[in-house]
Structure 1
Amino acid sequence: MKISRRATLTTSILLAGGLALTGCSSPAAPADGGSSTSQEAPAKGGALTQDNFAQRIADAQFAAGSVHMSMQMGDSVEGSIEADMVIDKDPKKIQMQMTMDQAGVKGDIRLVDGKMYMNMGPLSGDKFFDMSTMPGGAGDIGAILDQVNPGSQVEGFGDALTDFVADPNGPEIDGVKTTQLTLTLDTRKMFEAQGPQEGVDIDTLVSTLGESMVYDMFIGSDDLPRRIVMPNVGGMGTGTQEYTKWGEPVKIEAPAKDQIADASALQG
């Protein structure tokens, strides 16, 4: 079975975009385990404000250098996505392994040394495709890597933000007191700030998602995200991203040569 290049790259962009959002925007929702007795989260750099939150969160992630993320895509989508990521200001040094098991489809996507490898189980013959070997693939991978970089989202993001609310008495998550940021974003400006993405039509996105999107982001006193809860989009239900293991060692390896298939099979 052939997989179209557009479909696979669009999937990759959307998955990687979930990580990129941690550098600029964020989702919201009540946090499990939250406590009404939580005290104000002490901020090491003072209060998070509309003017400083994006840069501070990006800087904190660069300083941490790595993270583990668990993502639930929505109430109507069974399964989850798990990812380990090495964060670096140089997009070519970013590394990530993302595994997904949703609706009976299993996948393993890896970003290593500026290359992206994708294994979609039976859809790819249980082999990895080196996406950079496809016509134009290297440029597309470069764009994806740049978007995964949290710092790349800072520039131009301010134009998409139409409302900002910071509650220093956010819920406690995994023993960490948080500040809850509620952000309202202009949908069109948010996606335009990410740059052109093959197969992604912004007009269609705006029509589907609405003119604005509201997120809540839960930030620890170290300026690192602990949870993002995405709004209900397309009736799929809310999506939740949990961030743990900040700064812990992460080792991601490229697939073995005998596990990499001819990427020409993707064209169609």
Structure 2
Amino acid sequence: MSTLWKRALATTTIALVAGFGMTACSTGDNGSTTTKSTQSQTEQAPKASGVMTADDFTQRMNDAQYKAGSAHFTQSTEVSGQKLETSGDMVLNKDAAKMRMSMSMPRGMEIRIVDGEVYMNLGQLTENKFFKAPKDGSNPIFAQLDQSLSQADLGKQLEVFKAALKDFKADEGADTIDGVKTTKYTLTLDTKKMLASSATEVPAEALKQLGDTVTYELYAGPDDLPRRMVMNMAGTAMTMDFSQWGSAAEVTAPSADQITDKAPAGL
């Protein structure tokens, strides 16, 4: 697997878990986009009211996402002049143990995350089938992803995110994205504090590459739902656009005949 694919996977993990808590996703037992416990919590969520502030943006944004229940996303990741275009769907819920996300990549490759399990179809490397990622920590990429998923607790992430916030700016009248007029929020986060909740020890050299701060540009509509997120971290530039809030496709695990036990070489 090339450096570009590895960096794309790692950056996606950081973006979705460390930023905005959007990886705590699942469906209910009846296949709906929210569970009963989520419904009772979102019904009590405050209604969107004007431009978000540094004090309320995390709670308002997550309340809006969980109430919507699902979203489609497209992602563009650029590393060392190479660009990777991906797309997928997420089904959102506050229970991180039931996370669901799919991400399609070029050449027929696909990643699915369902109920904490990671499945990767790497084309010819996996005989066009899905390889179920090991949980024994033997692969550093899968180990990082597994640890991130296990920590995707909304309350904890909100605390870390607020503690790491160094600067917050809101610019109304920003880009119109997918037909929605947005406000651009620029967030500057303390890198060490942002990674403080990670069970994975970040090497000193990696921290040096990340720098003292990480900046997110977030475009959100008047409904508090994110429409675009822009991030540049350690030489990896990523833009994610979100659409189809509340009506994205369902995400399911591969069937037994779609799964191979053969580990992909070079990953």
The two structures share one fold, judged by TM-score above 0.5: yes
CA shift for structure 1 position 267: 9.9
Amino acid at match of 1:48: M
What is the alpha-carbon distance in structure 2 between the residues aligned to residue 107 and residue 96 of structure 1? 14
2:94 counterpart SS class: coil
CA shift for structure 1 position 204: 2.6
Aligned position for 2:11: 14
Are the structure 2 counterparts of residues 202 and 151 from structure 1 closer, same or farther at C-alpha, using a change threshold of 3 Å? farther
Please report the TM-score for the alignment, with normalisation by the length of structure 1.
0.75
What is the alpha-carbon distance in structure 1 between the residues aligned to residue 175 and residue 14 of structure 2? 25
RMSD over aligned CA atoms reads 3.3
What is the alpha-carbon distance in structure 2 between the residues aligned to residue 12 and residue 190 of structure 1? 19
Aligned position for 1:196: 199
Are the structure 2 counterparts of residues 44 and 56 from structure 1 closer, same or farther at C-alpha, using a change threshold of 3 Å? closer
What is the alpha-carbon distance in structure 1 between the residues aligned to residue 228 and residue 144 of structure 2? 29
Amino acid at match of 1:188: K
Deviations 1:123-153 (A, max 9, x none): 3333211125x43589876533345666652
Query: What does 1:164-203 align with in structure 2 at a 5 Å threshold?
Result: 164-193=168-197, 195-197=198-200, 201-203=202-204
Q: Determine if the alignment matches structure 1 residue 159 to structure 2 residue 160.
A: no
Are the structure 2 counterparts of residues 107 and 173 from structure 1 closer, same or farther at C-alpha, using a change threshold of 3 Å? same
Q: Determine if the alignment matches structure 1 residue 243 to structure 2 residue 242.
A: yes
Q: Determine if the alignment matches structure 1 residue 95 to structure 2 residue 108.
A: no
Query: What does 1:59-138 align with in structure 2 at a 5 Å threshold?
Result: 59-74=63-78, 76-101=81-106, 107-132=109-134, 134-135=135-136
Query: What does 1:209-228 align with in structure 2 at a 5 Å threshold?
Result: 209-228=210-229
5+ long unaligned stretches in structure 2: 23-46
Aligned position for 2:36: none
Please report the TM-score for the alignment, with normalisation by the length of structure 2.
0.75
Are the structure 2 counterparts of residues 72 and 265 from structure 1 closer, same or farther at C-alpha, using a change threshold of 3 Å? closer
Select the structure with the greater relative contact order (CA < 8 A; seq sep ≥ 6): 1
Are the structure 2 counterparts of residues 120 and 182 from structure 1 closer, same or farther at C-alpha, using a change threshold of 3 Å? same
Deviations 1:30-82 (A, max 9, x none): xxxxxxxxxxxxx9323311111111111111111101110100272233011
Aligned residues between the structures = 237
Q: Determine if the alignment matches structure 1 residue 23 to structure 2 residue 20.
A: yes
Aligned position for 1:33: none
5+ long unaligned stretches in structure 1: 26-42
What is the alpha-carbon distance in structure 2 between the residues aligned to residue 140 and residue 209 of structure 1? 17
* 4+ aligned runs moved over 6 Å, structure 1: 8-11, 137-141, 265-268
Aligned position for 1:36: none
Structure 1 range deviating more: 205-214 or 137-146: 137-146
